[in-house]
Amino acid sequence: MRFLPLPPARPLDLPFLVLDWSLFIAQLFLGLAMACAAYRLIFGPRAQDRVLGLDTFYVNAMLLLLTYGIRIASAVYFEVALIIGMLGFVGTVALSKFIMRGEVIE
């Protein structure tokens, strides 16, 4: 179902440049965000800070993959992002459980 006709391909023009730069800046931001999360992951004073850092880290990594997917116009990265989200959730839950009791499986 085509609901919008595609325009003919153009030479380098303003919308393309804007989107390209926006994606580049977004990737830069998300990389910085991952660095912040990594700081908490490595230096976080207590164990719960590290887990929180890991949680933020994987959410940012997921977003980075999504922006990369837009950049190269490929839907493959969507699945990678979905799997990162799922595994990250399981990891955070297991680590929280570990912090609470000292063992994952009770």
Partner 1 sequence: MIDIDLTFKDLPAWAAYVTALFVFLGSSLALIGSIGLLRLKSFYERVHAPTLGATLGTGFILVASMLCFSVLRGRLSVHEILIAVFLTTTTPVAMMLLVRAALYRDRVENNREVPESNKYKGVVSGQQNRPD
Q: Is residue 29 close enough to count as binding partner 1 by CB under 8 A? A: yes
Rounded to the nearest 10 degrees, what angle do helices 76-101 and 47-71 cross at?
180
Three-state secondary structure of 17-85? HHHHHHHHHHHHHHHHHHHHHHHHHHHCCCHHHHHHHHHHHHHHHHHHHHHHHHHCCCCHHHHHHHHHH
User: What mask, x for binding partner 1 by CB under 8 A, covers residues 63 to 102?
Assistant: x--xx-xxx-xxxx-x--xx--xx--x--xx--xx-xx--
CB of 97 to partner 1, least distance (A): 7
Please name which of 96, 105, 85 lies closest in space to residue 48, comparing C-alpha atoms.
Answer: 96
Q: Is residue 104 close enough to count as binding partner 1 by CB under 8 A? A: no
- The single-letter DSSP state of residue 4 is S
Q: Is residue 42 close enough to count as binding partner 1 by CB under 8 A? A: no
Which chain residues interact with partner 1 by CB under 8 A?
A: 1-4, 6-7, 9-10, 14-16, 18-19, 21-23, 25-27, 29-30, 32-34, 36-37, 39-40, 46-49, 51-53, 55-56, 59-60, 62-63, 66-67, 69-71, 73-76, 78, 81-82, 85-86, 89, 92-93, 96-97, 99-100
